[in-house]
Amino acid sequence: MLIKLADEQLNWSQNGNVAPGFTYDLQVVPYADYYIFLHPGNDVNGALYYASTNYVQLTNGVAACPGLTGNQLTPVAAFGHFVYGHGAAAETSIASFGLNSSNFSSPLLDAALAAAPVGTVTPILVESIPAVGSVSDWQLLSWIENTSFKVEGTVNKDAVGNYQFDGKISAGNVTYNTIPENLKTAVGEAAATQLQYVAQNLNATPFEITINGDTPVTISKQLTPEEVAAANAAAAAVAAAAAEAARVAAFKTAHTFKLPAAGATQLSAAGGSVVAAAGSQITLEGALQAGRAVLGTVFSSATAVGLFALLYPSPLGNGELPPTTLNLPAKDLAPNLPANLQDVAAAGGTVDVPYRIIGDQSKYSLVNTQATGGVSPAVPVRALVFDPVANAYTFTGVGAEPFILTFPIAVPGNSSTATPAQPVQNPVYTGITLTPVEIEAEPFPAAEQSGFRDGIYVYPADSGLPPIYAVYSNPYEGADTKGEYSGRMYNPDKAGGPTQNLDWTTATVTQEGIDLVKLHTGRFGPSDANAVMIDRLEKILSGEMAVTDIDKRFYTHETRELERYRALGIADGVSPADSGATWNNAHAATLEDYKLKDGQNLFYTPEALEAGRIQDEREAK
């Protein structure tokens, strides 16, 4: 209709006038549309006839016809309101739009439905959905294009991902203040120009359209086999990413050592500082001083003195031992350090020191150095960096055994973060105790002379803090190889055989397998975390619970680890008294068998990990 009117107007506009037919229809059609609005069920032709014979009786003309139906007359009626309504508000009902899943689609809504979890009913609320891009009915868009929709309801999604959404759609008000772009597109450029001419010459006035009510909508989706496969792959990728993030976080926590900022000698584990055994008169400074005195009387190369021994609690549950680090003022080890340590650290260089310290699973030892024929005197010098978020100076090591050193500081409220006032007191870690050893010289094997993990760490020049000497220890003897998949250090020659290409995903839980899991885990002593996982396996076998990837990994790992123990000739139920070295080797090799990274969250559910945490706290009291 508008195209026909625009063609008629073309000739009149050349003379600077508006076609009489245009002015007539722009008043009659709004009345006809309003008549149907008031009397639903009347047809368009009857309404047009009624309006054409009665519109002259309207006192206020188009302004007295505020109702818009949403039928085929409404695009012209809305334009008529724009031209002749003098800004009077209009209204319509969203129920008349005929919106359904076939003509309404929103990327925002689709994304919300896709993100809803499977196997449950989820409430959905999506607001500010633009009409353009959501409604496919061009006739509807030709007068409501600047509105936005709100969709709310619930989506019921099954375990596969098929879903049904049941909800309702409502809309915001429309401000009709210019000829809608969709109307221009529908009638064409030439006709749109004529509509614009009429609007300008008749002083069209913007008006508001209130869209009342809401309308129900149901959206269903049945996934194709290809979509199911893609959804499963995406879910697996998300789970793998989450597991990897948790593993990295756990590894970082286990290998992050909080040390005093300056002036103190301290042994630390990831959980805090390590204290001497009750009743012991040992001090770290005293042991170091005695060690230097003994080495000062020895003139042969490659000589060491033990400083103190590490005592781990027993049983340890799964055999895991925490790494430790020893730090002390660098001047206590090397009084004559060069003045240009900042430059050496910036270049990643080394300095020569008369003594170095090495740590293993049982003790820390002081070793003399020689330029030739003995332990190298060259110690790496590295720069500490201030982390304003953690309020600490930090260093992150790289290589086969990455670690993080962090030196927390306390800063007065108005001072610069570069000038700490005092170190922060670290918590005490109760999992290890120090015990004294007899300070005496002993040969230092050539095979161990490359096992140093020490360094001098330099604070920024404006910090006012002296350099630190720190030693990082590996708690497992002979762990000199980094696993390709696990990233864990171990000794593959003492792991119960070469690694194999195994697949945990195909595992089926059996009673025999559960018995083997109980047999193997029992050698490590009571473990609440293991108890939770074994209980899950028994429920899986009885059909009470569906098996998960965590269950499969735990099940296959423990049974394979048992095979490695047996291959090493270790009797069932026996845990070798080797400070966990056997467990570490078998554990790491089993991770390599299944091509898995090292991380407790891969083998223990959150409930099991929480049970283990509570047990640790209980036993630490």
Same domain, 355 and 415: yes
**Mean per-residue pLDDT for 14-33?**
81
Are 427 and 282 part of one and the same domain?
A: yes
- End of a domain among 473, 501, 519? 473
Look up residue 547 and give its DSSP letter. Answer: -
Q: How far is CA 567 from the centre of its chain?
A: 40
> What pTM did the predictor assign?
0.46
Residue 263 gets the label, from left (phi > 0), alpha (psi -120 to 50) or beta, of: left
Alpha helices in 67-137 (DSSP H): 74-84, 107-115
Same domain, yes or no: 375 and 409: yes
Helix 549-567 with 511-521: angle, nearest 10 deg = 60
Residue 163 falls inside a structural domain: no
How many domains are contained in the chain? 4
What are the structure tokens assigned to 424, written together? 């922060």
Please identify, among 234, 250, 266, the residue that sits at the C-terminal boundary of a domain: 250
319 shares a domain with 362: yes
Contact at 8 Å (CB) between 580 and 477? no
With beta carbons less than 8 A apart as the criterion, state whether 52 and 73 touch. Answer: no
Contact residues for 135 (Cβ-Cβ < 8 A; gap 6+): 97, 99, 103, 104, 141, 144
Rounded mean pLDDT, 14-40? 84
Both 176 and 318 in one domain: the answer is no
| CA–CA distance, 196 with 211 (Å, rounded to integer) | 25
Instruction: Please confirm whether the linkage preceding 380 is cis (ω < 30° from 0).
Output: no
Residues 368-414: tens digit of each pLDDT: 887 776 788 899 999 988 888 777 788 877 654 556 777 766 544 44
DSSP state, residue 452: -
How many of the other CB atoms lie within 10 Å of CB of 91? 14
Question: Do 86 and 192 belong to one domain?
Answer: yes
Helices 20-38/44-54 angle, 10° precision: 120
Average pLDDT over residues 76-105: 91
Inter-CA distances, 401 with 119, 273, 488, Å: 42, 21, 8
Structural domain harbouring 326: 255-473
Q: How confident is the model at residue 305 (pLDDT cuts 50, 70, 90)?
A: low
The answer to whether residues 439 and 540 belong to one domain is no
- Top pLDDT among 370 and 17 is at 370
SS3 category, 172: coil
Whole-angstrom distance, CA of residue 276 vs CA of residue 286: 13
Q: What is the mean pLDDT of the chain?
A: 80
Among the three residues 186, 214, 242, which one is the final residue of a domain in this structure?
A: 214
For residue 187, pLDDT beyond 70: yes
- Whose structure tokens read 């896709």? 114
Asked whether residue 279 falls in the same domain as residue 201, the answer is no
Nearest alpha carbon to residue 311 among 362, 365, 271: 362
Measured in degrees and rounded to the nearest 5, phi and psi for residue 338 equal -65, 155
Quick: pLDDT tens for 261-302.
Answer: 556 676 666 544 444 444 444 565 666 666 666 666 554 555
